[in-house]
Structure formats: structure tokens, C-alpha cells
């Protein structure tokens, strides 16, 4: 789901938004990753509140990691 009038601002089913805990680009395990071609990033994000791994194109939940490793 998206915030009203903003198709780029997601709302996770846990209630997280970009302005609260946010979302981070991640690898298939849900660990934060640099969103570059060199890193092999495949367009997925992790919800920093609940750990759902979300496909940015479809907003489908494709995995779960309740304790992701975030980049410092």
C-alpha cells in the first residue's frame, strides 16, 4: 500500500512508513545492501520495523528477517 497521493511512499502492513522506521535496500536474506548493479541488488527492501522483505515493483512480501544486519 502507498501513502495518499504518493506512489513512492509505502505503508507496510505493520504500519511502518518511510518517515518512521523506514525501509532499506537489502539482499535476499533481508540484510541491508548497497542498491547497485555491482552488489547484485535485485530491487528488494526490508521493512525496518517488522522485517518483511518486499519486492519494490510488486510490493509482494518475498521473505522475512526479524533481525536484519544493517550497514553502519
Q: What was the pLDDT predicted at 37? A: 83
10 domain residue, yes or no = no
Range(s) of the domain holding residue 35: 23-72
Q: Is residue 40 part of a domain?
A: yes
Element (H, E) at 53: strand 52-55
Establish if 16 belongs to a structural domain: no
CA distance 7 to 69: 27
pLDDT on residue 10: 87
CB neighbours (10 Å) of residue 66? 8
Q: Under a CB-based contact definition with an 8 Å cutoff, are residues 65 and 31 in contact?
A: yes
The answer to whether position 45 is within a domain reads yes
- Count: domains in the chain: 1
pTM of the model: 0.87
Residue 3, domain member (yes or no): no
> In 3D, which of 72, 42, 39, 71 has the Cα closest to residue 56?
42
| CB-based contact 15:49 (threshold 8 Å) | yes
In a domain, 12, yes or no: no
Average pLDDT by consecutive 10-residue portion of the chain (72 residues)? 69 93 95 89 95 94 95 82
Amino acid at each position: 500500500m502507498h501513502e495518499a497521493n504518493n506512489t513512492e511512499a509505502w505503508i507496510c502492513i505493520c504500519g511502518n512508513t518511510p518517515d518512521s522506521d523506514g525501509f532499506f535496500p537489502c539482499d535476499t536474506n533481508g540484510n541491508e545492501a548497497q542498491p547497485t548493479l555491482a552488489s547484485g541488488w535485485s530491487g528488494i527492501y526490508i521493512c525496518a520495523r517488522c522485517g518483511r522483505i518486499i519486492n519494490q515493483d510488486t510490493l509482494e512480501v518475498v521473505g522475512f528477517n526479524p533481525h536484519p544486519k544493517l550497514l553502519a
